[in-house]
Amino acid sequence: MSSQPLASSQASSGRAPELDAVIVGAGFSGLYMLYRMREVLGLNARVFETGDGVGGTWYWNRYPGARCDSESFYYSFTFSPELDQEWEWTSKYPEQPEILRYLDYVADRFELKRDIQLSTRVIEASFDEENDCWRVFTDDGKSITARYLISAVGCLSAANVPDIKGIDDFEGEWYHTGSWPHEGVDFSGKRVGLIGTGSTGIQAAPRIAAEADHLTVFQRTANFSIPARNAPLSAEDWADIRKNYPEIRRVLKSSMAGFPYTLTERSAKDVDDEERTAIYEELWDHGGFKFLWGSFFDIMLDLDANATAADFIRGKIRRTVKDPKVADMLVPTDHPYGSKRPPIDTDYFETYNRDNVKLVDIRKAPIAEITKNGLRTEDSEYELDIIVFATGFDAMTGSLLRMNIRGKGGRTLEDKWAAGPRTYLGLQVEGFPNLFTITGPGSPSVLVNMPIAIEQHVEWISDCIEHMRENGMRRIEANLDAEDAWVDHVNEVASMTLFPRANSWYMGSNIPGKTRVFMPYPGGLVLYGERCQDAVSKGYEGFTLQP
Ligand code: NAP
């Protein structure tokens, strides 16, 4: 990307913008934002989407084993009771193709596709101060103006492929899980290397091991994981879910993390060992995030409380993995449970009991280079036919920054965020009027069941735009003091939790050179929703609105 702004070559039109809004991305956020803009506000909006289909995260992440880690009937839109009745998930944790089919169905069901321009990447957006609008440039060489620019790019969409020496010389195939080939990858008879043991690597490893001739997992950090306990949903299950949808939705919207579990008031330190173990055993058998959100309130607040959960999981790993040396390598020791995003799995630790799977500790002997025939660590060489990078994403800010956004005075978002992202409520950035970020840094976003976080943001933004129109306003911008106060508040709340104790993508520490700062808001959905509503009821306190 040239550092010369494309906008400087465009004369300001002096006319009303061509669109009310440009929305970037056609995943959960972009689809619902478009629905609200068009069907609820009656406005003229267009979505630009890089992929050649809708679905966002679920369009790109097609790797084997990709599935949701929140139960399907919580991980879906809640805005349409008709949609609730029409769609039926096949299982508790559906696989990626089913979620993609759901999003495609939603796009067709609400006739959204006519306003979605696929295979189009936004390469720059510049704020036109004279006309209070954004000029948005796309990679087809065109540009368009819109009053509002709404980012629906997702928190985990800028793939992180590590800069490892020799990758271009590799004569086999290599893939990043976040941009997986649509035709799939045939692992049969192949020697596969998998780098990364986050949620993605943990989902992919058992599936690759079952298909490949041999799998070598290159692990930098051992990770905690809880069994998902996926199961099909029967007709009786569905009858129950449908009947209870209103109550399920009520509880999840009034919960800490957008799940229908009420956070218990008991501390892990207030019960004796026997009772605590019985609680953990029950949640282990239940599977999924309930282990974190339905056990004790202080797991993410208190190291000693956390240690009880961490030790329980370590014990499970040791009992599952037959080779004690391999089990030793798999037992996490350097971060509290939950301080890195906790994966849930299907037979992950069991995979290491297979004869065709080897675990390599690349913390002890780091990867030195990729060679013609495989990969060399500081102490060994591994011959590989396929390398799979499950190495995560430049999370929360990567996709926003890649759009080359320029606000007032031509200042880039990259410059504004040089020392880490700064937003007011994760919704707006001072100096970037009429730009909204759905689940932006500083909002609960990735700490909450995503569709619920997304719906709350989309509804706040569309209500705000409605308010602007009703009151003849054309410009809204976060105030610097409100932004500063919000960033301080996010940091203060984060420092009360155990999140900052891990090197995680929440902290930006997975990307070399990225500022280490906790990016999502850990205060929970309810508290956050109240803060957003509070700003509205005080006349959009913290924002400046101009006619
Ligand atoms: P991730 O959690 O960032 O994990 C990346 C893995 O790659 C880590 O093990 C990391 O090691 C390793 N790694 C990164 N750079 C490396 C390098 N240069 N050399 C060696 N190893 C390297 O990424 P992810 O697994 O793709 O997951 C990202 C997020 O996506 C998840 O946390 C979750 O929110 C979401 N996700 C959700 C689901 C779902 O079930 N719905 C599934 C997959 C992903 P370190 O730990 O040492 O950095």
Per-residue pLDDT tens over the stretch 251-268: 889 988 888 777 788 999
Q: Can you tell me whether residue 345 is helix, strand or coil? A: strand
pLDDT of residue 14: 58
CA 394 / ligand 1 centre spacing (Å):
10
CA 152 / ligand 1 centre spacing (Å):
21
CA 391 / ligand 1 centre spacing (Å):
5
Q: Which of 341, 447, 504 to mutate to test the pocket of ligand 1 (most atoms within 8 A of CB)?
A: 341
Compute CA 95 distance to the chain's CA centroid, rounded to the nearest angstrom.
16
Euclidean distance between CA atoms 47 and 25, whole angstroms? 6
Protein residue with its CA nearest to atom 24 in ligand 1: 392
Protein residue with its CA nearest to atom 34 in ligand 1: 341
In the beta sheet, which residues pair with residue 217? 194, 359
Atom of ligand 1 nearest to the CA of 70: 41
Nearest Cα residue to 192 out of 178, 176, 183, 205: 205
Per-residue pLDDT tens over the stretch 36-74: 999 999 999 999 999 999 999 999 999 999 999 888 988
Protein residue with its CA nearest to atom 48 in ligand 1: 510
* DSSP codes, 413-461: HHHHTTTS---BTTTB-TT-TTEEETT-TTSSGGGS-HHHHHHHHHHHH
* DSSP codes, 457-479: HHHHHHHHHHHHHHTT--EEEE-
Q: Can you tell me whether residue 300 is helix, strand or coil? A: coil
Q: Which of 217, 391, 449 to mutate to test the pocket of ligand 1 (most atoms within 8 A of CB)?
A: 391
Protein residue with its CA nearest to atom 4 in ligand 1: 198
Give the pairing type, strands 386-389 and 173-176.
parallel
Q: Which residues contact 399 (CB under 8 A, 6 or more apart)?
A: 25, 151, 153, 154, 157, 158
H-assigned helices in 194-353? 199-211, 235-253, 273-286, 290-293, 303-320, 324-330
Euclidean distance between CA atoms 123 and 435, whole angstroms? 16
Euclidean distance between CA atoms 333 and 169, whole angstroms? 35
Euclidean distance between CA atoms 355 and 226, whole angstroms? 23
CA 227 / ligand 1 centre spacing (Å):
17
Please give the radius of gyration of the chain, using alpha carbons only, rounded to the nearest integer: 24
CA 332 / ligand 1 centre spacing (Å):
15
pLDDT of residue 4: 42
- Residue 60 contacts residue 179 (beta carbons within 8 Å): yes
Euclidean distance between CA atoms 526 and 530, whole angstroms? 6
Q: Which residues contact 515 (CB under 8 A, 6 or more apart)?
A: 418, 419, 420, 508
CA 238 / ligand 1 centre spacing (Å):
33
Burial 327-347 (b: 16+ CB within 10 A, else e): bebbbbeebbbbbbbbbbbbb
Task: Identify the residue whose tokens are 């006519």.
Answer: 114
CA 524 / ligand 1 centre spacing (Å):
23
Atom of ligand 1 nearest to the CA of 197: 9
Protein residue with its CA nearest to atom 26 in ligand 1: 392
Task: Identify the residue whose tokens are 């790797």.
Answer: 63
Angle at 76 between CA 493 and CA 231, to 5 degrees: 100
Binding pocket residue ranges, ligand 1, CB within 6 Å: 67-69, 156, 162, 195-201, 203, 220-221, 341, 362, 390-393, 446, 505, 510
pLDDT digit string (tens) for the chain, length 547 residues:
333 444 433 434 457 999 999 999 999 999 999 999 999 999 999 999 999 999 999 999 999 999 998 889 889 999 999 999 899 999 999 999 999 999 999 999 999 999 999 999 999 999 999 999 999 999 999 999 999 999 999 999 999 999 999 999 999 999 999 999 999 999 999 999 999 999 999 999 999 999 999 999 999 999 999 999 999 999 999 999 999 998 999 988 998 888 877 778 899 999 999 999 999 999 999 999 899 988 999 999 999 999 999 999 999 999 999 999 999 999 999 999 999 999 999 999 999 999 999 999 999 999 999 999 999 999 999 999 999 999 999 999 999 999 999 999 999 999 999 999 999 999 999 999 999 999 999 999 999 999 999 999 999 999 999 999 999 999 999 999 999 999 999 999 999 999 999 999 999 999 999 999 999 999 999 999 999 999 999 999 999 999 9
